[in-house]
A = this chain, B = another copy of it.
Amino acid sequence: MSDQNTAATKDEFMQAAIDEARMGRAQGGIPIGSVLVRDGQLVSRGRNKRVQENNAIKHGEMDALMNAGRQRTYRDTVLYTTLMPCYMCAGTIVQFKIPKVVVGESRTFGESKEFLESHGVEVVILDLQECVDLMNEFIAAEPTLWNEDIMEL
């Protein structure tokens, strides 16, 4: 049923972000994925690589932005991400002047919505059960790893 409920709101870009999250989990990593989009085209894709690359700053959003290389501007981009951004990623969105973020879900994590909106960023939360399930299954299986990633150890 949840697939039917979310089908109307999940476009190809959120699907690409979810695909990145699933690939990350298959690699033993944290299942959060992101893509950067401009003019209806993918600019770059990314996924959390804390485990895969021993890298604390490679959240999905940061990996996608790193993979985009140097862009003249981000004012015409949209960032899609499976989970509500943490403050690192939210601060990056504000600094990069990305005007819009589409979020898979904010039930399992995320306190940056007010910060983003106070800096003029449009935040669209799709509340996809698929994304909630992905995180809940991961957090149940790897609670210590998750707490490391959100700095709650």
- A72 interface neighbour in B57, B62, B74, B148, Cβ under 8 Å: B148
| This chain: copies in complex | 2
What's the Cα separation between A50 and B70 when bound, in Å?
8
Interface size on A, residues (CB 8 A): 33
Q: Which residues of B contact A124 (CB under 8 A)?
A: none
Q: Is the CB of A91 within 8 A of B87?
A: yes
Interface residue SS majority, chain A: loop
- A153 interface neighbour in B66, B72, B148, B150, Cβ under 8 Å: B72
Tell me the A residues contacting B by CB distance below 8 Å.
50, 54-58, 62, 65-66, 68-74, 86-92, 94-97, 112, 119, 148, 150-151, 153
